[in-house]
Amino acid sequence: MGLLSLLFPERRTSAVIARERLKIVLAHERASRNAPDFLPVLQRELLDVISRYVEIRGDMIRVNVGKSGDTSLLEINVEIDGAKVTPAKNGAAEEGKAGAPRIEPGAATPWVKPS
Amino acid sequence: MAGKVIVLTSGKGGVGKTTSAAAIAAGLALRGHRTVVIDFDVGLRNLDLIMGCERRVVFDFINVINGDAKLNQALIKDKRSDNLYIFPTSQTRDKDALKRDGVELVLNELKESFDYIVCDSPAGIEHGAITALYFADSAIIVTNPEVSSVRDSDRIIGILASKSRRAEFNLEPVAVHLLLSRYSPERVRRGEMLAVEDVKEILSIPLLGVIPESESVLKASNTGTPVAFDEESPAGRAYLDAVARFLGEQRELRFLQPERRNFFRALFGRA
């Protein structure tokens, strides 16, 4: 077995596949298990607000609570790549009114890494 | 005397909870500790069969909770060990019959006369399983080296950390142990089964023992003998090792290497 593992270092046995699948699925489930109750509501309200400016679907926004060292992090990921700007409606993004700046299509978005 | 409550739980069914509860309880009794093993699986009781006392059940857990019988009328003394008692559950009542207050009273009474109270949980994460783990001081998570069992174990570990009495009252957390059962070293060697190190790493809880897949387990349940009383069998010895570790002893893991083919054994057909 020692020699075999030298010759074929990472043999994709079914046990190796099982281990990797479990690690991935449990990482997801543990994160959502410890999530505070307000996350779904927060996600829905964020979606409402953002969709006043950009057309996005529910699956394009992800809200997670994580930890980095001793700090708890609220992580919000919004995917707007290719999303259309919503025509001004609800009065929220009308010019002359205080509110969030409009995002021009194709304009650089500072929090998205340029690819 | 202030007995400790140990729950055997798994989430998934069919992984060997009842077999393990019977074996661990028998092992604790063999080590001289006064032990009672309780069946929490209302409506689907099987501990009585595994312990070989199915014809001696008169009163059960529900009768005691409802005040229809006294505790000592329902406890069945094991015929093989003076330290071991079986507390069967009801076969006819419905699943929700175990009320938490009633269970607490019974457990407190048992704590006065036993060192260890071993609770055999039903499968799932419904009322019965939650009731079985709620009062636990220690938990033994029975897991098979198989994806669905590992996932369900992880879930149950999460529930112990959030829904047990110790979690609710901010007490010292339930001591959680991994018992890996139905382990086949030969299949692990061939890369067909998760290895003990993999399961340990994924669940990240201390390992109490590894029980090899063994024909003696079925033989034991056929005859109603906890497998820990069968000191000839690898599974029985692995359970006794697990009990020793539970009691704080250091023991090397055994039965993790594939058995060498033995000519004489093959000849005489012994596994």
Residues B78-112 have pLDDT tens digits of: 999 999 999 999 887 776 778 999 999 999 999 99
Label residues A21-46 b or e (16+ Cβ within 10 Å = b). ebeeebeeeeeeeeeeeeeeeebeee
- What was the pLDDT predicted at B259? 74
- Of B199, B210, B218, B208, the C-alpha closest to B148 is B199
How is residue B246 written in tokens? Answer: 């539970």
Burial degree of B201 (CB within 10 A; 0-12, 13-18, 19+): exposed
pLDDT of residue B271: 46
Nearest CA distance, A12 vs chain B (angstrom): 9
Among B154, B189, B198, beta carbon nearest to A26: B154
Q: Taking CB atoms and an 8 Å cutoff, what residues of chain A touch B147?
A: 18, 21-22
Structure tokens belonging to residue A12: 């994709």
Side-chain half-sphere of B25: how many Cα atoms within 13 Å? 35
Output the pLDDT for position B73. 95
Residues in A closer than 8 angstroms to B156, CB to CB, are none
Q: How many CA atoms lie within 13 A of B153 on its CB side?
A: 30
Longest CA span, chain B: 60
> Confidence class of residue B178 from pLDDT cuts 50, 70 and 90?
very high
Q: What is the mean pLDDT of chain B?
A: 94
- Interface A-B, measured as beta-carbon pairs within 8 A, has a size of 41
> Residues B4, B107: contact at Cβ < 8 Å?
no
Which of A16, A26, A28, A32 is the best residue to mutate to test the B interface, defined by the most B CB atoms within 10 Å of its own CB? A26
Round to whole Å and give the CA distance between B18 and B29. 16
Nearest CA among B144, B112, B150, B160 for reference residue B7: B160
Distance CA(B16)–CA(B35), nearest Å, equals 20
Q: What is the pLDDT of residues B34-70, one digit of tens each?
A: 999 999 999 999 999 999 999 999 999 999 999 999 9
Q: What is the DSSP letter of A98?
A: S
| Closest residue in chain A to residue B202, using alpha carbons only | A23
How confident is the model at residue B45, as a pLDDT? 92
CB-nearest to B195 from A15, A29, A30 is A15
Looking only at the bridges linking them, the beta strands covering A61-68 and B84-87 are unpaired
Quick check: B228 and B24 in contact, CB under 8 A?
yes
Higher-confidence residue of A7 and B113: namely B113
**pLDDT given for residue A6 in this prediction:** 63
* Count of beta carbons in the 10 Å neighbourhood of residue B134: 23
Contacting residues of A for B146, CB less than 8 Å apart:
18
For chain A, list the strands marked E by DSSP. Answer: 61-68, 71-78
Over residues B229-241, mean pLDDT? 94
Query: Which residue numbers in chain A have pLDDT < 70?
Result: 1-10, 83, 87-115
Determine, for residues A29 and B151 on separate chains, whether the beta-carbon distance falls below 8 Å.
yes
**Is the CB of residue B189 less than 8 Å away from at least one CB of chain A?**
yes
B258 touches chain A (CB under 8 A): no
* pLDDT at residue B149 in the model: 98
What dihedral angle (degrees, nearest 10) is formed by the CA atoms of B217, B223, B228, B232? -80
User: Chain A residues with CB inside 8 Å of B154's CB?
Assistant: 26, 29-30
Are the CB atoms for B199 and B150 separated by under 8 Å? yes
- pLDDT value at residue A112: 44
Question: Hey, are the CB atoms on A13 and B194 less than 8 Å from each other?
Answer: no
Inter-chain residue contact B195 with A13, CB threshold 8 Å = no
Q: What is the pLDDT of residue B29?
A: 98
The pLDDT-based confidence of B210 (bands split at 50, 70, 90) is very high
Residue A83 identity (one-letter amino acid): A
Q: Which of A16, A35, A22, A28 is nearest to B151 (CA)?
A: A22
- Residue B213: strand, helix, or coil: coil
What average pLDDT does this structure show over B197-210?
Answer: 97
Q: How confident is the model over B1-27, as pLDDT tens digits?
A: 689 999 999 999 999 999 999 999 999
